[in-house]
Amino acid sequence: MDMVTAVKTVLGKYATFSGRATRSEYWWWILASVILFTVLGLIDGGLVAPMLGAAAFDPDAGQPLSLIVSLALLLPNLAVSVRRLHDTDRSGWWLLLSFIPIFGTLALLYFMVLRGTEGSNRFG
């Protein structure tokens, strides 16, 4: 799977929390998101901040484009994460581990890196 296919798949399943997401689909989506938010941060800092009367890349200027896009992509991010956990035969409730400061993040990272279960599991 390539990045374009992964992004199309994730956006096509915008708020679909059932089913499974392969490891490549999940990580290509993460990479595309990082690239998108890097570009949006540069646009917010270099173009939007001066238009709002702040200095370029002023930390107090705010980032309205990044905020709007992050709100628009909140559901797809959650959905693909839940589907990735389903692929490792775990419930989506495991995402709540992210509220535990260090251990939770490391545990979720470990779950996301694991190979998916071969064949079908209880999630599809």
Q: Cα-flanking dihedrals φ and ψ of residue 59, to 5°?
A: -65, -20
Q: Which residues contact 15 (CB under 8 A, 6 or more apart)?
A: 75, 76, 79
Please state whether 44 falls in left (phi above 0), alpha (psi between -120 and 50) or beta. alpha
Domain locations in the chain? 3-113
Q: Which residues contact 103 (CB under 8 A, 6 or more apart)?
A: 97
Distance CA 66, CA 36 (A): 9
DSSP structural state of residue 13: T
**The dihedral of CA 112, 118, 122, 124: what is its sign?**
positive
Spatial contact of 121 and 89, defined as CB atoms under 8 Å apart: yes
pLDDT attached to residue 9: 97
> In the chain, which stretches have pLDDT less than 70?
none
pLDDT attached to residue 124: 86
pLDDT attached to residue 62: 87
